[in-house]
Structure 1
Amino acid sequence: MPGSETRPLAGVQRSFGVLEGHQGYKVSLRSVYKERGQSQPRIKFGHGVEFLYGKILDTQTAASMLPRKNLPLRIVALLPFCAAVDIIRCGTQDPGRTLVDIVRSFAGNKKCIKAAPYYRPPKIAVDTYIHVVVSSEDRKEEPPESKLKEQMDVLNQGYAPTGMQYRLRGIDRTVNATWSNGDDQAKMKKRLRKGDYKTLNLYYLERLTAPGLRPRAILLGHCTFPSTVTEKSADFFDDGCRMLISTLPGGVIPATAKVNFDGKITVHEVGHWNGLFHTFMGGCDETLGGDLICDTPAETQVDNRPAPKSSGCPAGRNTCRNTTGPSVAGADAIHNYMNYYNEWVLTREVGGLD
């Protein structure tokens, strides 16, 4: 459609570490990129990657995609302390029906999911801008640039096996008490957003809001799913991921749980930006089968609230023992970044990009 722009797709990326012994390939969706009127059905991706029934036809990187002063280990959250506060990991809403249907169509086509063993994902560089919004001038230099670059290192380490890398193109800082509190976000994004729809925009705020969030709850992250948008439309400007400043590496929220962060909330939210679902979406349903990624075992939803390290790591947890849907059987993918387990548990790449 003239004047419209689509979110690029990450392409087919190798699965690793989601379930030991399963070295399948997954499809990550960013959108249907172009229509060229070919006689054979094709799956079109942004970033110049195109597939015909899962076979790579061509890969290229668009020219536009070319590729200290530290905080203490405890970055004190820029939030008022209050007892009995709910800490909510992810506020991203369920994906729309269109995106779910596209993912389901890929899940039913194993040629799109299973690639040759010698396949290596193409190198993809995603232009990335970081926007830090704080409430007062005395916080304008918080967090320091070194901490933001450390976050980018964590993001790139998480996605390295997929061939995707996020190239930091700029950092800007804004003092606005309203925006930093999670209010008037549409105006904030319209003012700050940079690049086209293939460009990742990361916003770090002192507080986040999301539909249905309780007034005293602390939300850690929220991101948009890909869709077809018209350039400069409200959906175009809304595109991007918002995270709490205190989720940067070394951060801590001084609330009841005393949760420490390693920067993986951003990895999780960027997964949504790439069109990835939570691993537990759809639960044990035979049709939905979790996140619709064939080699991610289906599972039921885990607690959305982070917990201290003393809570342990539930290795071997299996909440969908009798699933017959598109997902394989097996233990829950507790190490997958698109799950809700705590950061020291999340050590393996996201489904659909991994």
Structure 2
Amino acid sequence: MNQFKLHAVIIFFFNLTFLVGQKGFVSNLENRDPASTNHRGIPCATPDPTVEQIIESKAEVDLWLSQNSSRDREQVIIYVIWHAIHASDNTGNISDSRIEGQIEAMNVAYSNNNTNISFVLDSINRVENDAWFTGWSPDAEELDGAGMQALHYDPAHYLNIYSVQLWEPGGGGFVTYGYTYSPHTNNYPESHYRQGFTIDHKVVYGGSSYSSSTAPHEAGHYLGLYHTFQTDCAAPDDAVDDTPRNDSEYVQTCNTQDTCPSDPGNDPVENYMNYSDDWCQTVFTPGQTDRMHAIIDIYHPSLLENQAFYPLLAVDGYSFLNDTDGDNRFNPGDTTRVKIVLANEWGGDAVNVSLTLETDDPRVTILDNYISFNDSPLGDITIPPGEISSTVFDWFLITADADAVPGNIQCTVTMTAGTDEYPYQEQETINLDLTLSQFGFPLDGIVVKSSPIVADLDSDGVKEIYFGSDNEALHGYNSFGEEIDGFPFQSTDRVRSSPAVGDVDNDGQMEIVFGNSSGKLYIVNHDGTQQLAYNILGFIEASPALVDMDGDQDLEIVFTTTTTSGGQLYAIHHNG
């Protein structure tokens, strides 16, 4: 679970204590799977609208859309008050981590579908009440009405979620995973105490019957969505044009099916507002997103007043700078700066940003573990939502032991931001790559079955790398992984002969000597030009030897060939 910084205020209300504190929006959403494998065998108990209400609501939303067609769907921040109602034996007193995980799962569902709607857990209210815990339902006794009236907190600005026991295996009676009093169907004003939704404690994240789709489903009702099978195969269905109709008798499946064959499209089994299994429910359509934004503006306008007091910071990337050998790779024995790029993915402006770096890995030592985004040469750096930024010269400084084994170095980056009134802190794990590779390496797309040779052929004081390949070429690269001018030298066959280097013509310049599998021996100058191509029968796949055999002060070339019946040993001068 990500770390949160809690800003605490105590509010006494109806003799109950609320711990109110806005928390940073949960990060790393891409790392959490919103779906599980539970089977939805228990229905939603949200009251059904009449056909007339659906028609009226669709007309209302269509009018809003016609008047706001070019308007961006503004970010909507929904603060959540979670009322964990439990029995005196503590059944239902679900943990903070389960509630936080459920809010995160809701954000996965809504962010993955680009709804621009986000949920922020503001506070958790724990209430011990046996009667409410087991009897809470929208039945004649209206125990939920009594509970909601006593517990609700500012429904115009907050989504109140109530977790209770709505069903017990084999218990009978009122049985549901959750239910909502919908804005248009129940015609409650936005400040009414029934605004919000109820969910069974067992289906909350981490519970014995966790249903990942239930909370996003009920939140969809809260924001004005109907079931995709609302009127089966008849109009007006769910008042959304891009959700195909489906028959309510055949909704508990993830199989591809078309239960309304006279209408376009297969059943939307992947939609959160269906009853299919959790694992396949991953979709809110663009039409549903438009409808939710319209309903928010019409029925929950005060939600648009909510401000983001916290950013959502995440490490967008890192790079090595000013390392010991200047190749921007972190090698054993190197000392290097680590530049961090931060992203503010959501929420408010990130101000007063600072970073600290920690690791328990003995292979590295952190020499400077602090970065401040304030007091830079550009002034104090603020990161607006949706933007990325980094510091100019203030970077971490680390060093690796010379005998360190290459591999990932797991580090923790602690990100702090905000003000005294709204402090923010987040931690993220990053893996720094400690490698033997140099910049530009490894090379891809080349089949190499010969040994390379390292030599300074162009006499610039820096050695190059030369090797043959099955791509029928001799390659030459500098230490940055860049191919040298004049290379690759194209051969007529694969080059499995490891090259040899020497001044074979005694001209003061080094040459490269190698053979190929068609029986050609090549002498190539440092600039990639050919000096000699000597033809014989057989394969030349061993490395030539360069030696002054006759004492004439130049090097002869000794090499072997391989044929189907044996091979030969050759010794030639550089001119063939």
Instruction: Give me the TM-score of the superposition, normalised by structure 1.
Output: 0.60
Give the Cα separation in 2 of the matches to 1:267 and 1:113: 28
Q: Residues 314 and 112 (structure 1 numbering): CA distance in 2 closer, same or farther, change over 3 Å?
A: farther
Q: Which one has the bigger helix percentage?
A: 1
Amino acid at match of 1:353: T
Tell me whether 1:205 sits opposite 2:159 in the alignment. Answer: no
**RMSD of aligned residue pairs (Cα, Å):** 3.2
Structure 1 counterpart of 2:73:
121
Give the Cα separation in 1 of the matches to 2:267 and 2:68: 21
Q: Residues 110 and 132 (structure 1 numbering): CA distance in 2 closer, same or farther, change over 3 Å?
A: closer
Q: Equivalent residues in 2 for 1:1-354 (5 A)?
A: 87-96=41-50, 99-105=53-59, 112=66, 115=69, 120-139=72-91, 142-160=93-111, 161-183=114-136, 184-207=143-166, 215-216=172-173, 218-227=175-184, 228-229=187-188, 236-253=192-209, 261-285=210-234, 287-288=235-236, 290-302=237-249, 313-315=254-256, 317-323=257-263, 329-349=264-284, 352-353=288-289
Give the Cα separation in 2 of the matches to 1:302 and 1:266: 23
Q: Residues 110 and 195 (structure 1 numbering): CA distance in 2 closer, same or farther, change over 3 Å?
A: closer
Give the Cα separation in 1 of the matches to 2:179 and 2:195: 11
Structure 1 counterpart of 2:399:
none
How many equivalent residue pairs? 241
Give the Cα separation in 2 of the matches to 1:113 and 1:99: 21
Instruction: Give the percent of matched residue pairs that are identical in Structure 1 and Structure 2.
Output: 23
User: Deviation at 1:208?
Assistant: 5.4
Larger radius of gyration: 2
Query: Secondary structure of the residue that 1:252 maps to in structure 2?
Result: coil
Give the Cα separation in 1 of the matches to 2:61 and 2:245: 13
Give the Cα separation in 2 of the matches to 1:111 and 1:273: 19
Q: Which one has the bigger strand percentage?
A: 2
Contact 1:106 1:113 in 2 (8 A): no
Contact 1:283 1:299 in 2 (8 A): yes
Amino acid at match of 1:284: C
Give the Cα separation in 1 of the matches to 2:87 and 2:267: 40
User: Deviation at 1:110?
Assistant: 11
Instruction: Give me the TM-score of the superposition, normalised by structure 2.
Output: 0.38
Per-residue CA deviations over 1:165-222 (Å, capped at 9, x if unaligned) read: 112111011111100013421111111111133421111112259xxxx944531111
Amino acid at match of 1:346: Q
Contact 2:250 2:259 in 1 (8 A): no
Structure 2 counterpart of 1:57:
none
Query: Secondary structure of the residue that 1:174 maps to in structure 2?
Result: strand
Compare 188-197 and 171-180 and name the one that shifted more: 188-197
Q: Residues 188 and 297 (structure 1 numbering): CA distance in 2 closer, same or farther, change over 3 Å?
A: same
Specify which structure has the bigger relative contact order, considering alpha-carbon pairs within 8 angstroms and separated by 6 or more residues: 1
Structure 2: runs of 5 or more not aligned: 1-21, 26-39, 137-142, 291-576
Query: Secondary structure of the residue that 1:243 maps to in structure 2?
Result: strand
Give the Cα separation in 1 of the matches to 2:245 and 2:68: 18
Amino acid at match of 1:270: A
Give the Cα separation in 2 of the matches to 1:279 and 1:231: 24
Contact 2:167 2:174 in 1 (8 A): no
Contact 1:182 1:208 in 2 (8 A): no
Structure 1: runs of 5 or more not aligned: 1-63, 68-85, 254-260, 307-311, 324-328
Amino acid at match of 1:272: H
Give the Cα separation in 2 of the matches to 1:231 and 1:313: 35
Give the Cα separation in 1 of the matches to 2:46 and 2:178: 8
Amino acid at match of 1:127: Y
Compare 342-351 and 163-172 and name the one that shifted more: 342-351
Query: Secondary structure of the residue that 2:149 maps to in structure 1?
Result: helix
Give the Cα separation in 1 of the matches to 2:157 and 2:249: 31
Give the Cα separation in 1 of the matches to 2:155 and 2:52: 22
Q: Residues 112 and 314 (structure 1 numbering): CA distance in 2 closer, same or farther, change over 3 Å?
A: farther
User: Deviation at 1:115?
Assistant: 4.9
Amino acid at match of 2:220: G
Amino acid at match of 1:292: A
User: Deviation at 1:100?
Assistant: 1.6
Structure 2 counterpart of 1:83:
none
Give the Cα separation in 2 of the matches to 1:111 and 1:216: 42
User: Deviation at 1:238?
Assistant: 1.9
Contact 1:87 1:219 in 2 (8 A): no
Amino acid at match of 1:320: C
Q: Residues 146 and 238 (structure 1 numbering): CA distance in 2 closer, same or farther, change over 3 Å?
A: same
Q: Residues 123 and 231 (structure 1 numbering): CA distance in 2 closer, same or farther, change over 3 Å?
A: closer
Amino acid at match of 2:80: T
Query: Secondary structure of the residue that 2:150 maps to in structure 1?
Result: helix
Per-residue CA deviations over 1:141-180 (Å, capped at 9, x if unaligned) read: x321011000000111111211111121110111111000
Amino acid at match of 2:213: K
